[in-house]
Structure 1
Amino acid sequence: MRIFSAYSLSEKTKEELCKIISELKKNFPDLRWVKKNNLHLTIKFYGDTTDIKTAKEQTLHLNKELGSFSFKINRLSHFNEKIVFADCILPNISYRKIRDINNTFKPHITLARVKKYTPTTQISGLIKVLSNINLDINEHNLKAFLFESKLSNTGPIYKKISKL
């Protein structure tokens, strides 16, 4: 089972992100864009695992260390030209402390996935556009969940496993 820990987002933030997605879709229709109800702030991706108990314990520990926090979206970027995401900054959090618990800590909101047949020129164009987009979105008092992720031809399907 593919699982990850994440925080839910407010409707206001989802709406702001959907406006950006809507604009990007016009020039990059071949990407698989995340639907509004699937937008969330990913804190840790566990990948394929059957050890949900350990993932839940680690996420609870991470959640305890994070405490109540706010975050800001400072830019849009990509992971290996495959995932388009909103890079999130947690200004009141010690990243060094968190990385001691989770060395892959990269808080982000996935916006789209690049299909295998997307031309390199289109990816290059997207990267250029992403680097010019600035966002000023703030969130507070988020709720953490452990999610299961199933990839399908129509996009990812997320199921909340437990509230943390």
Structure 2
Amino acid sequence: MRCFLAVELNKETRDALAQVIAEAKRSGVQATFVDPQKLHITLLFFGELTEEQAREKIAAIKKICSGVKPFELVVKGLGFLPNERFVRVFHAESFSSELFELQDKLASALNMREERGFKGHVTLARVKTQENLAPLRGLKEKHSETVFGKTLVRELAFKKSILTPKGPEYENVELMKLG
């Protein structure tokens, strides 16, 4: 199964980001937009795992989660990955020193450090072409200081992703409480 570890966002934050997605869709930008109900922050992407490998990862994650207190995550502003000159992902930015510390602990324990480093973000769209990106750049400027929401992170979700012609479907394999 194709798996990842995520922070789920509260309804208020998802609803605010849904408005940005709707505005971006109306602009005519060629992109695949994320269903607002599926918005999340990916902490680690595992790829294909067997059931046994998933159980091992979950056990290791639970140990780390037990020593981490719940924390507040702020979603503010918009951005592009990998950069503004070549856009693949249009995203909302997430801010929380605790999020970065938690991701670092998890990546270390599971031997999954990324060369380019962790960039906490909420993917809103995957851009198909570099043409006509002015509307997205305009949205980025318009919302540079917009706080889309604050989420109290009390748990992490170990999810499996099922790829379908209509896009990925996510299913929680296990929810792991913090603290």
How much does 1:48 deviate?
A: 2.5
Distance in 2 between residues matched to 1:62 and 1:75, nearest whole Å:
29
User: How far 1:160 moved relative to its partner?
Assistant: 1.0
Compute the TM-score of the two structures, normalised by the length of structure 1.
0.80
Structure 2 regions of 5+ residues with no counterpart? 108-112
Question: What percent identity do the matched residue pairs reach?
Answer: 23
2-structure distance, mates of 1:146, 1:56: 7
Give distance in 1, aligned partners of 2:131 and 2:64: 39
Instruction: Quickly say closer, same or farther: Cα 1:56–1:79, change in 2 above 3 A.
Output: farther
- Corresponding residue for 2:110? none
Contact map agreement 2:7 2:156 (CA 8 A) in 1: yes
Residue 20 of structure 1 corresponds to: 20
Residue aligned with 1:82, SS: strand
1:125 match: 134
The separation in 1 between residues aligned to 2:174 and 2:101, in whole angstroms, is 27
| 1:75-94 aligned within 5 A | 75-80=77-82, 81-91=87-97, 93=98
Query: Aligned runs of 1:5-154 on 2, under 5 Å?
Result: 5-50=5-50, 51-64=53-66, 66-80=68-82, 81-91=87-97, 93=98, 95=100, 98-102=103-107, 103-104=113-114, 105-115=118-128, 118=129, 120-122=130-132, 124-125=133-134, 128-132=137-141, 133-134=143-144, 135-136=146-147, 137-154=149-166
Which whole-Å deviations, capped at 9, do the CAs of 1:86-106 have from their partners, x for residues lacking one?
Answer: 121114x28467425423433
Structure 2 CA distance for partners of 1:94 and 1:162, relative to 1, 3 Å: closer
What residue is the counterpart of 1:155 in the other structure? 167
Residue 43 of structure 1 contacts residue 108 of structure 1 at CA under 8 Å; is this kept in 2?
no
Instruction: State TM-score, norm by structure 2.
Output: 0.74
> What is the identity, as a one-letter code, of the residue corresponding to 1:84?
F
Aligned partners of 1:46 and 1:55 also within 8 Å: no
Which has the larger strand fraction? 2
Q: Distance in 2 between matches of 1:111 and 1:138?
A: 17
**AA paired with 1:150?**
I
Structure 1 contact 75–130 (Cα < 8 Å) conserved: no
Bigger Rg over Cα:
2
Residues 4 and 147 in structure 1, CA contact (< 8 A), matched pair in contact too: yes
Q: How many aligned positions are there? A: 159
Measured against aligned partners, the alpha-carbon deviations of 1:23-82 in whole angstroms (never above 9, x if no partner) come to: 111114531111122112222222233221232134324534542011112322233332
Look up the SS of the partner of 2:131 in the other structure: helix
Give, as a single letter, the amino acid of the residue that structure 1 aligns with 2:166.
T
